[in-house]
């Protein structure tokens, strides 16, 4: 059956989105314009949003000649912002009008219009439903926040997270108040890295703001344990996670995290204690693992030193330290994953894939969480080493990981370990 080819979307200066009658959407991989294969299109998922890209010119493809076609002065590029559960395969096709204008920190994805519906160049990598913002109503969360704050009036951490839940609409923060799936435990205001696209702190001269404001106080171990126990008692299968978008690097507070974990594990063997970390402080990570950590998610953008260092700007550590932290956690029975910041045209370069396969095999990571990197493509590409090697495609990257690392899972967010995975809390109690 003949499938209608999607048409190009563009926006005017007021941000009104329109479709072109004939031109097909151009997309981008890294700095290169490309077309979109039929197999790369999926319907725009629930919870996705469209955005126009200020300072850009939309680019299409003439279906007859196959030539690139730029639209008029008043036509801006349009991209989609995907919800949890979806991996972006290609960026929107555009050229910059003004190279001095830097786009805000979002994960821009190629989008098109077909038979009256929006389509995007993406892959459904995990079940999006648990993290669909529509899953929680405003009245429900407002009531839960009011109840918990009334029950814990002196806990500053609950107070902070309530702002994240009600003002930022952070799903992890909302989960904390509703005893759902995975809850937030931000604890640190400092970091041992200086990521180019940090969402909680940007240098004063950065051309875009950080979307989140970093925590400005130090929660005590008792405040941490109170939030963890409240969540776990509400849901014995809950995940409580140190390391949130509104903080620095949690392991910089390892002595207090160790106290909090010990306090919780004295009270209960239920729930899963997780840390989202850059894992650069290996000694700190080993202490947190020894205290009773269950899950560890390590954020990374590459297994190649030059690229990693150019993006993370690590202070006092390197990728070797990160690998050692992962190996220590693995050997101690912690279920480990990576929060892989991915970008089409970089992540799917042959040498990046080879290096990451080696890193995954060496560290025994169990889950790769594909995380669309939120950043202006030009800004990012100008700050990392020039990419070499063939482009394999983002879909192929996920297949190669599964082939080369048997048993590894590909997902989009932290999940409880598979059935049969030994519970550290129980074995610690039986010891």
Nearer to ligand SF4, 119 or 281 (CB): 281
Gap between the Cα atoms of 107 and 341, Å rounded? 10
Q: How many residues bind ligand SF4 (CB under 6 A)?
A: 9
Contact at 8 Å (CB) between 184 and 175? yes
Phi/psi at 304 (nearest 5 deg)? -105, 125
Token pair recorded at residue 420: 């049969």
Is residue 94 within 8 Å of 56, Cβ to Cβ? yes
Interacting residues with ligand SF4 between 177 and 216 (CB under 6 A):
191, 193-195, 198, 200
The minimum distance between CB 54 and ligand SF4, in angstroms, equals: 24
Question: Rule CB under 6 A: which of 377-416 touch ligand SF4?
Answer: none
For residue 405, give the H/E element and its range.
none
Q: If binding is defined by CB under 6 A, does position 105 make contact with ligand SF4?
A: no
Instruction: Compose the 250-279 pattern: x for residues touching ligand SF4 by CB under 6 A, - for all others.
Output: ----------------------------x-
Which residue bears the tokens 């190996």? 327
Nearer to ligand SF4, 83 or 248 (CB): 248
Closest CB to ligand SF4 among 195 and 356? 195
CB of 299 to ligand SF4, least distance (A): 6
Shortest Cβ distance from residue 156 to ligand SF4 (Å)? 20
User: In this structure, how many other beta carbons lie within 10 angstroms of the beta carbon of residue 320?
Assistant: 11
Between 54 and 194, name the residue whose CB sits nearer to ligand SF4.
Answer: 194
Closest CA to 88 of 26, 3, 172, 27: 27
Query: What is the three-class DSSP state of 424?
Result: helix
CA distance 365 to 176: 27
Residue 36 or residue 105: which is nearer to ligand SF4 going by CB? 105
Q: Which residues pair with 272 in a beta bridge?
A: 239
Kindly tell me which of 122 and 187 has the beta carbon lying closer to ligand SF4. Answer: 187
- How far is the C-alpha of 45 from the C-alpha of 326, rounded, in Å? 34
Quote the distance between the C-alpha of residue 312 and its chain's center: 15
Nearer to ligand SF4, 329 or 391 (CB): 329
Helices (H), 196-318: 221-234, 254-267, 282-292, 305-312
Q: How far is the CB of 198 from ligand SF4 (least distance, A)?
A: 3
For residue 29, the Cα-to-chain-centroid distance in whole angstroms is 19
Q: Smallest distance from the beta carbon of 362 to ligand SF4, in angstroms? A: 21
- Are the C-beta atoms of 369 and 301 separated by less than 8 Å? no
Binding-site string for ligand SF4 from residue 134 to residue 173, where x marks contact by CB under 6 A and - marks none: ----------------------------------------
> Which residue lies nearer to ligand SF4 by CB, 49 or 190?
190
Cβ 98 to ligand SF4 shortest distance, Å: 27
Instruction: Print the binding letters for residues 212-251 with ligand SF4: x by CB under 6 A, - otherwise.
Output: ------------------------------------xx--
Concatenated DSSP letters for 10-48? EE-TT--EEE-SSPEEPEEETTEEE---GGGEEEPPTT-
- In 10 A of CB 35, how many CB atoms? 16
Binding site for ligand SF4 (CB under 6 A): 191, 193-195, 198, 200, 248-249, 278
């Amino acid at each position: 059956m003949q499938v209608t080819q999607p048409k190009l979307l563009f926006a005017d200066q007021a941000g009104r989105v329109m479709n072109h009658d004939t031109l097909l959407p151009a997309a981008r991989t890294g700095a290169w314009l490309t077309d979109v294969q039929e197999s790369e299109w999926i319907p725009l998922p629930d919870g996705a949003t469209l955005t126009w890209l200020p300072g850009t010119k939309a680019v299409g493809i003439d279906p007859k000649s196959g030539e690139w076609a730029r639209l008029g002065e008043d036509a801006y590029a349009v991209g989609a912002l995907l919800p949890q559960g979806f991996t972006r395969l290609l960026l929107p096709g555009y050229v910059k009008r003004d190279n001095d204008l830097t786009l805000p920190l979002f994960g821009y994805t190629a989008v098109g219009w077909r038979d009256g519906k929006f389509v995007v160049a993406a892959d459904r990598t995990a079940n999006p439903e648990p993290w669909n913002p529509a899953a929680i109503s405003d009245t429900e969360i407002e009531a839960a926040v009011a109840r918990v704050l009334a029950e814990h009036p002196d806990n500053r951490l609950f107070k902070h997270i309530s702002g994240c839940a009600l003002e930022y609409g952070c799903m992890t923060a909302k989960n904390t108040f509703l005893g759902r799936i995975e809850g937030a435990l931000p604890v640190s205001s400092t970091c041992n890295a200086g990521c180019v696209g940090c969402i909680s702190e940007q240098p004063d001269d950065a051309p875009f703001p950080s979307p989140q404001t970093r925590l400005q106080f130090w929660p005590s171990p008792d405040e941490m344990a109170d939030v963890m126990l409240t969540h776990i008692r509400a849901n014995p299968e809950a995940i409580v996670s140190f390391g949130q978008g509104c903080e620095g690097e949690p392991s910089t507070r390892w002595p207090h995290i160790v106290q909090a974990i010990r306090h919780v594990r004295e009270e209960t063997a239920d729930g899963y204690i997780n840390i989202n970390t850059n894992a650069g402080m290996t000694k700190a990570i080993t202490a947190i693992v020894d205290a009773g950590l269950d899950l560890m998610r390590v954020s990374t953008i590459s297994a190649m030193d030059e690229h990693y260092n150019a993006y993370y700007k690590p202070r006092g550590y390197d990728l070797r330290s990160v690998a050692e932290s992962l190996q220590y956690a693995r050997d101690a029975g912690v279920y480990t994953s990576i929060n892989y910041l991915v970008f089409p045209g970089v992540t799917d370069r042959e040498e990046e894939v080879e290096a990451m396969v080696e890193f995954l095999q060496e560290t025994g990571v169990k889950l790769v969480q594909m995380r669309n990197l939120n950043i202006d493509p030009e800004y990012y590409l100008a700050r990392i080493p020039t990419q070499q090697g063939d482009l394999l495609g983002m879909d192929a990257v996920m297949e190669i990981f599964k082939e080369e690392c048997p048993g590894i899972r590909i997902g989009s967010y932290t999940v409880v370990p598979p059935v049969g995975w030994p519970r550290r809390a129980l074995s610690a109690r039986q010891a």
